[in-house]
Amino acid sequence: MFPGRRRTSEPAQDEDDFSGATLEFLDSLYGAALRLTRNADRAQDLVQDTYLKAIRARGRYTTGSNLKAWLYTILHNTWRNRQRDGARSRVSFDSAVVEEAAEGASLGPSGHVESPETLLLRATIDADLQQALDALPESFREAVWLRDVDELSYQEIASVLGVPIGTVMSRLSRGRKQLFLLLTVQRQRHGSV
Amino acid sequence: MTCKDIADKLATVAEGSATQGDAAVVDEHVASCDACRQMLHAQVTARTVLRARAAQLAVTAPPGLRTRIAASARAERSEAKGLLSWRGRLSAFAAAAVLMLSLGAALLPVVTERSTVVLAAQLALDHLKCFIIDGDASGPPISKAEAEAIVQRDHGWSANVPASTEGLELLAVRHCLYGDGLAAHVLYRAEGQPVSLFILPGLARPAAELSVLGHDEVVWSHGDRTYMLVSAAGTKAGLARVASYLQNEAK
Ligand SMILES: [Zn+2]
Ligand SMILES: [Zn+2]
């Protein structure tokens, strides 16, 4: 990890270390940008913009805090601003409505639900998982991914997504539930298990 | 405990990261509540599947992206240290060229406001990137209407995109980053040579002809848009013809 102090005797070295450290998360950030933009060109634009902002704001990064979470926060803020400023009309969903809709979904008869997760694990192919993730509303997918894959803390996810911790928890529960439902439906469609 | 109280605790209980108190409360509740037990099971399962498979879903950033970002970090640093003197020094142009070479198509709004040369260098690099690296221009020509529809879709504004004509083929439209935002990048082939027309909305720059980074460029404005035509050096006569055609058509 980089020392994080700035303007020491060797600032250039520090800053080299800083950009080097941020670049360790390039793949993760690009993955996040792809999930958000769903387009390789736009994802590259978003990541590049994120890094430029990060480099300019490096003085505001607190040494010792989670650098990945800090970068994710910049990326998501940039994305939200673009969404807001975008002249293009976009199908934007009200996340409250989506969350309500998810809440209403039934987990179905307990016979399906009670099968051990190892069965679903074995039956789920990567393409199905990708498809299920793509089908989740953005706010749910991000909460689930940041927690279960990136292992950010609830507080970190709250800053990344710009919402209170309670909202993170609720999106996380509902996102996982939706994901489970989608995977279960796919398994049944494939007729496996 | 109601189901609603339990719902808030399920996320952490499913991860095994809940406090002992919460875990006990949830355990007790789900023993007698089918719906919450199913919800808990769904959470555990989704998390398990996702974590087990996440590595297969991971993506790798394109190598060019890493290079551009590393270069823009270096460029930012030089900028911050004031190594570049922009006033009255011929060497500033050389510095700009070197800076832009390392920078690729990254954003540097402060710099581009200072110099059309820097902007020209950026666009020359984007021209190379879009034609050579991305290989966008290998397909058949597209129509004026298709090109204009792409601009409308990607940028949200309309542009008059000059059509193919004798010796000039309209190939593709991309949206590309430059110092002040997104440019509509129109790719042409003139007598077999790659030619780019960049349409930059929201800023009018004085007309100019310049050579930078081995490219000849023609700059003009119409309304609040700047048009920049880019082609490899050594095709000046041809470029002038293309420029006059595009200047008339693009209005
Ligand atoms: Zn209950
Ligand atoms: Zn381009």
As a whole number of angstroms, the distance between CA B198 and CA B186 comes to 6
In this structure, is residue B76 part of a structural domain?
no
Looking at residue A121, what is its pLDDT? 66
As a whole number of angstroms, the distance between CA B78 and CA B99 comes to 9
Distances (CA, A) of B86 to B3, B83, B111, B153, B208: 67, 9, 9, 38, 19
As a whole number of angstroms, the distance between CA B194 and CA A185 comes to 50
Interface of A with B in 165-184 (CB under 8 A): 166, 169-170, 172-173, 175-177, 179-181, 183
Q: What is the pLDDT of residues B205-251, one digit of tens each?
A: 888 888 877 778 899 999 889 999 999 877 666 788 899 999 998 87
**Domain CATH for B153:** 3.30.200.100
Residue B61 has pLDDT above 70, yes or no: yes
A15 contact B CB<8A: yes
- Can you give the C-alpha Rg of chain B in angstroms? 27
- Contact between B38 and A179 using a beta-carbon 8 Å cutoff: no
Q: How far away, in angstroms, is B38 Cα from ligand 2 center?
A: 51
Q: Which residues contact B119 (CB under 8 A, 6 or more apart)?
A: B112, B178, B179, B205, B228
- Contact between A129 and B59 using a beta-carbon 8 Å cutoff: no
Q: What is the pLDDT of residues B29-50, one digit of tens each?
A: 999 998 899 889 989 999 999 9
Enter the ipTM.
0.79
In a mutational test of the A interface, the residue from B56, B59, B81, B102 whose CB has the highest number of chain A CBs within 10 Å is B59
A178 is written with which tokens? Answer: 């939706």
Looking at residue A99, what is its pLDDT? 46
Q: Are residues A69 and A118 in the same domain?
A: yes
Looking at residue B91, what is its pLDDT? 38
B15 alpha carbon, distance to own chain's centre:
38
Give B165: exposed, middle or buried? Use CB within 10 Å, 0-12, 13-18, 19+: middle
How much is the pTM? 0.56
Q: Are residues A119 and A156 in the same domain?
A: no
B179 closest CA partner among B235, B100, B240: B100
* Least-confidence region, from A159-173, B62-76, B182-196: B62-76
As a whole number of angstroms, the distance between CA B64 and CA B154 comes to 22
Give the chain A residue whose CA is nearest to the CA of B38: A113
Q: Are residues A79 and A22 in the same domain?
A: yes
Q: Which residues of B touch A34 (CB under 8 A)?
A: 59
- Contact between A149 and B61 using a beta-carbon 8 Å cutoff: no
Q: Are residues A120 and A144 in the same domain?
A: no
Q: Are residues A120 and A142 in the same domain?
A: no
Residues forming a β-bridge with B209? B218
- Contact between B41 and A27 using a beta-carbon 8 Å cutoff: no
Q: How near does any CA of chain B get to the CA of A185, in Å?
A: 13
Terminus-to-terminus CA distance in chain A, angstroms?
A: 46
Q: What is the pLDDT of residues B97-154, one digit of tens each?
A: 444 444 443 433 333 344 677 678 778 777 877 776 555 566 788 999 999 999 998 8
Range of the domain at A129: 125-193
Q: What is the pLDDT of residues B195-207, one digit of tens each?
A: 999 999 877 888 8
Q: Are residues A135 and A50 in the same domain?
A: no
Q: Are residues A149 and A192 in the same domain?
A: yes
Total structural domains within chain A: 2
Looking at residue B46, what is its pLDDT? 92
Terminus-to-terminus CA distance in chain B, angstroms?
A: 70
Q: Greatest CA separation found in chain A?
A: 66
Give the chain B residue whose CA is nearest to the CA of A18: B73
Range of the domain at B181: 138-249
The minimal CB distance from B53 to the residues A56, A126, A176 is found for A126
- Mean pLDDT throughout B81-100? 39
Q: Are residues A41 and A116 in the same domain?
A: yes
- Residue stretches of chain A with pLDDT short of 50: 1-10, 87-102, 104-105, 108-114, 192-193
In this structure, is residue B82 part of a structural domain?
no
Looking at residue B239, what is its pLDDT? 85
Give the helix, strand, coil percentages of chain B, each rounded to 5.
Answer: 55, 20, 25
Final residue of a structural domain among A124, A147, A180: A124
Residue B86 has pLDDT above 70, yes or no: no
